């Protein structure tokens, strides 16, 4: 009877220690964004898979991914810069208008970036309304910076759909 108690205590202790050891494993996940002519897809690698969709042209496994919102800088406050900038329509389907109401566009440039920070377009402003063609870019979110000698005056979050 005494040997049975010792064996049971030893087995329970080993099981308990094995359970504690199993909690030490970590799962490292990675991910990114893939952009193509049809749009943008966010993906992760290393998360549990819940559903798999199989089609003739590919397979997609859906897992866990946490959505996030990127907040946009609305402008850099400068005491000597007083520009009234507006961009419309936003969201846009093709043509985007950048309007400067006080005709102070000399020396200003706009820069269009995708979410990964890649510069897509850059032009000098030559009129109080500048038209920016967005139809060549896939449906996604973009950032438009208006700069004065490489200093950002105002940033816009552009949604193209």
Q: What percent of the chain has pLDDT over 70?
A: 62
Higher pLDDT, 22 or 96: 96
Q: Residue 18 and residue 13: Cα distance in Å, rounded?
A: 9
Q: Residue 36 and residue 81: Cα distance in Å, rounded?
A: 38
Phi, psi of 113 (to 5 degrees): -120, 150
- Helix or strand or coil: residue 124? strand
pLDDT in tens, 117-140: 999 999 998 888 899 999 999 999
Sign of the dihedral defined by the CA atoms of residues 159, 110, 121, 75, in that order:
negative
Which H or E element spans position 3? helix 2-22
pLDDT in tens, 92-109: 888 999 988 776 777 899
Please state, in angstroms and as integers, the Cα–Cα distance from residue 16 to each residue in 2, 23, 115, following that order. Answer: 21, 11, 48
85-160 folds as Immunoglobulin-like (2.60.40)
Mean pLDDT, residues 152-160: 89
Sign of the dihedral defined by the CA atoms of residues 136, 139, 143, 144, in that order:
positive
Q: Residue 124 and residue 60: Cα distance in Å, rounded?
A: 43
Q: What pLDDT shows up at residue 90? A: 84
Higher pLDDT, 104 or 22: 104
Q: What pLDDT shows up at residue 1? A: 67
pLDDT averaged over every residue in the chain = 75
Q: Residue 135 and residue 95: Cα distance in Å, rounded?
A: 7
- Domain range list for the chain: 85-160
Q: Residue 126 and residue 103: Cα distance in Å, rounded?
A: 10
- pLDDT band for 79, please (50, 70, 90 cuts): very low
> Is the predicted pLDDT of residue 70 greater than 60, yes or no?
no
Q: What percent of the chain has pLDDT over 90?
A: 22
């Amino acid at each position: 009877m005494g040997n049975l108690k010792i064996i049971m205590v030893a087995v329970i202790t080993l099981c308990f220690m094995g359970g504690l050891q199993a909690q030490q494993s970590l799962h490292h996940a990675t991910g990114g964004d893939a952009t193509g002519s049809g749009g943008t897809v966010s993906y992760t690698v290393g998360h549990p898979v819940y559903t798999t969709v199989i089609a003739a042209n590919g397979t997609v496994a859906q897992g866990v991914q946490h959505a996030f919102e990127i907040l946009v800088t609305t402008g850099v406050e400068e005491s000597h810069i007083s520009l009234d900038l507006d961009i419309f329509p936003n969201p846009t389907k093709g043509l985007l208008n950048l309007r400067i109401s006080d005709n102070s566009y000399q020396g200003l440039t706009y820069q269009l970036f995708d979410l990964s920070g890649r510069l897509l377009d850059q032009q000098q402003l030559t009129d109080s309304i500048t038209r920016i063609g967005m139809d060549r870019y896939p449906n996604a979110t973009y950032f438009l910076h208006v700069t004065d000698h490489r200093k950002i005056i105002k940033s816009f979050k552009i949604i193209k759909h």
